[in-house]
Amino acid sequence: MSTSTPTTRPKAKAKAGKKPSKMASKLPHAQKVYQRWFRDMYLMRKFEERCGQLYIQQKFGGFCHLYIGQEAILAGISEAIRPTDRMVTAYRDHAHPLVLGTDPKFVMAELYGRKTGTSKGKGGSMHMFDKERNLFGGHGIVGGQIGLGAGIAFADKYRKEDHVTLCFMGDGAARQGILHETFNMAMTWKLPVIFIIENNKYAMGTSVERTSNVTDLETLGASYRMPSFTVDGMSPEAVHDAIKEAAERGRKGEGPTLLDIQTYRYKGHSMSDPQKYRTKEELGEFQGKDPIEYVRNVLITQGWNSAEELKAVEKEVKAQVEESIEFAENSPYPDASELYEDVYMTEDYPFVKD
Ligand SMILES: Cc1ncc(C[n+]2csc(CCOP(=O)(O)OP(=O)(O)O)c2C)c(N)n1
Ligand SMILES: [Mg+2]
């Protein structure tokens, strides 16, 4: 049942001696797609690099789990779904709103615990939400969002709306019992949900190999006959294809898909991680497949952008990130009187229907 999405990358090289042109491209996506991927991944990377620095400078507190290294997953997803589709994820969640188009200043303000943040400053790093863009969080309980993902998909099916829910989890979360109950119900009811394991090989300091006799996470779908695939998470193209297919399956009423997306986090689990559980060589192996550098190379070798043009994009993105910091630092903290608001249902609570 399970087949794997090809992990090889399309050749990005222009023919020697020939001036590269759009027509000569054999790449699976158009110029504007690669350009979007470059900008989006660079934004995720720079935003997070600055988060790491600001955290060390104690500009904000709480937890801080960086997504650096995993960017090709969200880039690949961005062009494969509709704006009305839903996302729910765990605590490594700063990049998800960025790729959905949430202004980075609101994400930064949330990290700073300011009133202008995505969760009014009351959620922090692990609780990014964006109602307008259908981002349902940002959750700190490992695996808790697996059931929520199926629940969101159930609501859509019940209302006969053709949205698909992308339910992200880590390789560690995939070992939680809730996964099995959820998979069973999601397959029985053919819910339009894509279960995405962002398999970065470690749950804090515990490797996939240490958590089970079965290390091939794709097989977790087998008992439920859920279509399940392993995907190269360093390749935005491979992710795009896998998500597109899974979303079509969901929209056609054929139910859920499990994707074990192979990725790597370049930084520690959170900001306090001595990383003794892995080698520099292993890290180097994945950094050598860096998706930002891959897409940069595509754009340049296709003649779609010069190195200077891409530097200009980087400059724009860096300025945007700096603006987000300025915005966060100049925003007020929530008032103490707001402490008990937004805990239970409020009058304008958007998710309750008669
Ligand atoms: C129910 C529960 N158990 C334990 C924890 C502590 N904890 C926080 S993150 C984490 C590791 C999860 O790893 P993984 O799912 O692979 O996600 P990653 O951090 O790699 O993105 C653990 C055990 C928690 N937050 N919730
Ligand atoms: Mg993990």
Q: Which atom from ligand 1 is nearest to the alpha carbon of 173?
A: 15
Q: In the prediction, which pLDDT does 20 show? A: 47
Residue 111's closest CA among 331, 340, 344, 350? 331
Q: Which atom from ligand 1 is nearest to the alpha carbon of 176?
A: 1
Contact in structure between 94 and 68 (CB atoms under 8 Å) = no
pLDDT at 47 > cutoff 80: yes
Residue 97's closest CA among 68, 135, 60? 135
Residue 299's closest CA among 8, 7, 13, 46? 13
Q: In the prediction, which pLDDT does 166 show? A: 99
pLDDT at 7 > cutoff 50: no
Q: How confident is the model at residue 344 (pLDDT cuts 50, 70, 90)?
A: confident
* Region of poorest pLDDT, from 23-27, 180-184, 320-324: 23-27
Q: Is 268 in the pocket of ligand 1 (CB under 6 A)?
A: no
Q: In the prediction, which pLDDT does 302 show? A: 97
Ligand closest to Cα of 174 equals 1
Q: Is 139 in the pocket of ligand 1 (CB under 6 A)?
A: no
pLDDT at 12 > cutoff 50: no
Q: How confident is the model at residue 341 (pLDDT cuts 50, 70, 90)?
A: confident
Q: Is 202 in the pocket of ligand 1 (CB under 6 A)?
A: yes
Q: What is the pLDDT of residues 215-248, one digit of tens each?
A: 999 999 999 999 999 999 999 999 999 999 999 9
Measured in angstroms, how far is the CA atom of residue 270 from the centroid of ligand 2? Answer: 11
Ligand 1 probe mutation, 64, 142, 212, most atoms within 8 A of CB:
142
Q: How confident is the model at residue 349 (pLDDT cuts 50, 70, 90)?
A: low
Q: In the prediction, which pLDDT does 210 show? A: 96
Measured in angstroms, how far is the CA atom of residue 92 from the centroid of ligand 2? Answer: 10
Rounded mean pLDDT of 310-322? Answer: 98
Q: How confident is the model at residue 6 (pLDDT cuts 50, 70, 90)?
A: very low
Measured in angstroms, how far is the CA atom of residue 141 from the centroid of ligand 1? Answer: 7
Q: In the prediction, which pLDDT does 324 show? A: 98
Mean pLDDT of the chain: 92
Q: Is 220 in the pocket of ligand 1 (CB under 6 A)?
A: no
Q: Which atom from ligand 1 is nearest to the alpha carbon of 270?
A: 19
pLDDT at 19 > cutoff 70: no
The residue range of the domain holding 313 is 31-328
Distance CA 218, CA 276 (A): 27
Distance CA 230, CA 251 (A): 21
Q: What is the CATH number of the domain that holds 53?
A: 3.40.50.970
Q: Is residue 23 part of a domain?
A: no
Q: Is residue 179 part of a domain?
A: yes
Q: In the prediction, which pLDDT does 351 show? A: 58
Contact in structure between 249 and 257 (CB atoms under 8 Å) = yes
For the chain, the 3-state helix, strand and coil shares in percent, each to the nearest 5, are 40, 10, 50
Q: Which atom from ligand 1 is nearest to the alpha carbon of 203?
A: 13
Rounded mean pLDDT of 127-145? Answer: 97
Contact in structure between 323 and 105 (CB atoms under 8 Å) = yes
- What is the DSSP annotation of 45-94? HHHHHHHHHHHHTTSS-S-----TT-HHHHHHHHTTS-TT-EEE--S--S
Q: Is residue 4 part of a domain?
A: no
Measured in angstroms, how far is the CA atom of residue 161 from the centroid of ligand 2? Answer: 32
Q: Is residue 165 part of a domain?
A: yes
Q: In the prediction, which pLDDT does 16 show? A: 41
Q: In the prediction, which pLDDT does 18 show? A: 42
Burial class (CB in 10 A: 0-12, 13-18, 19+), 279: exposed
Q: In the prediction, which pLDDT does 342 show? A: 83
Q: Is 267 in the pocket of ligand 1 (CB under 6 A)?
A: no
Q: Is 67 in the pocket of ligand 1 (CB under 6 A)?
A: no
Rounded mean pLDDT of 147-153? Answer: 98
Q: Is residue 22 part of a domain?
A: no
Q: Which atom from ligand 1 is nearest to the alpha carbon of 143?
A: 1
Q: In the prediction, which pLDDT does 9 show? A: 52
Long-range contacts: 155-160, Cβ < 8 Å, 24+?
Answer: 156/86, 156/192, 157/189, 157/190, 157/191, 157/192
Ligand closest to Cα of 140 equals 1
Burial 156-191 (b: 16+ CB within 10 A, else e): bbeeeeebbbbbbbbbbbbbbebbeebbebbbebbb
pLDDT at 134 > cutoff 80: yes
Q: Is residue 98 part of a domain?
A: yes
Give ∠ CA 66-323-49 in degrees, rounded to 5: 20
Q: Is residue 76 part of a domain?
A: yes
Q: Is residue 3 part of a domain?
A: no
Q: How confident is the model at residue 95 (pLDDT cuts 50, 70, 90)?
A: very high
Q: Is 92 in the pocket of ligand 1 (CB under 6 A)?
A: yes
Q: Which atom from ligand 1 is nearest to the alpha carbon of 142?
A: 26
Q: Is 68 in the pocket of ligand 1 (CB under 6 A)?
A: no
Read off the pTM. Answer: 0.92
Number of domains comprising the chain: 1
Q: In the prediction, which pLDDT does 216 show? A: 97
Q: Is 141 in the pocket of ligand 1 (CB under 6 A)?
A: yes
Q: In the prediction, which pLDDT does 272 show? A: 86
Q: How confident is the model at residue 339 (pLDDT cuts 50, 70, 90)?
A: confident
Q: How confident is the model at residue 25 (pLDDT cuts 50, 70, 90)?
A: low
